[in-house]
Amino acid sequence: MAVYNLYVFDKYGVMLFYNEWNRLKKSGMTQEEEAKLMYGMLYSIKSFVGKMSPIDLRDGFLYYKTNKYALHYLETPSGLKFVISTDTASINVKELLQQFYAKVWVEFVVRDPLWVPGTPVTSDLCKQKIDEFIKQSPIYGIKNI
């Protein structure tokens, strides 16, 4: 199984959504601490990449990869941050995140009148749609050796 977990942060670093699929190794922290650490790391990478870049950036930080997994990052101009961990064989994850934003996030979170901006997502319909979207995505089933 190839999609491990998904985080969504807003521009203030509040974790709006988290879910995991087939995550084998736990970090040993509470989810809250983990989210803080994750956001801090992303923030640092973003500013690091911005400062170290020898030419002007357009998209900035895109993803990083270890020998076991890859972490893909998409930031919208409104500051929403979508972070997904997959195996290293997955391709086109950026497009997937873009679609996730357009088809799931805007449709079921932003348009949900009961969702207060800047708070975690609690709607069951939305959670179910996110789960469906990830499970139907082409990279969900990839087995990596």
Partner 1 sequence: MSRQTTRFDAKKVNSELLTLTYGSFVTQMLRDYENVDDVNKQLERIGYNMGMRLIEDFLARTSATRCLEMRETADKIQNAFRMYLNVQPTIANWSAAGDEFSLIFDNNPLTDFVELPQDLTNLRYSAILCGCIRGALEMVQLEVQCWFVQDQLKGDNNTEIRVKFIRRLEDAIPAGED
Strand partners, 19: 6
| Residue among 24 and 55 whose Cβ is closer to partner 1 | 55
| Residue among 4 and 105 whose Cβ is closer to partner 1 | 105
Binding mask 82-101 for partner 1 (x = CB under 8 A): ----------------x--x
Check: CB of residue 73 under 8 Å from CB of residue 63: yes
The pair phi, psi for residue 6, each rounded to 5°, is -140, 130
Locate 55 and state its tokens.
Answer: 């030419």
Binding mask 42-81 for partner 1 (x = CB under 8 A): -x--------------x-----------------xxxxx-
Pure H helices in the chain = 31-52, 93-99, 124-136
Does position 120 interact with partner 1 (CB under 8 A)? The reply is no
Check: CB of residue 62 under 8 Å from CB of residue 72: yes
Does position 36 interact with partner 1 (CB under 8 A)? The reply is yes
Check: CB of residue 80 under 8 Å from CB of residue 8: yes
Footprint of partner 1 (CB under 8 A): 11-13, 36, 39-40, 43, 58, 76-80, 98, 101-103, 105-108, 110-111, 117, 125
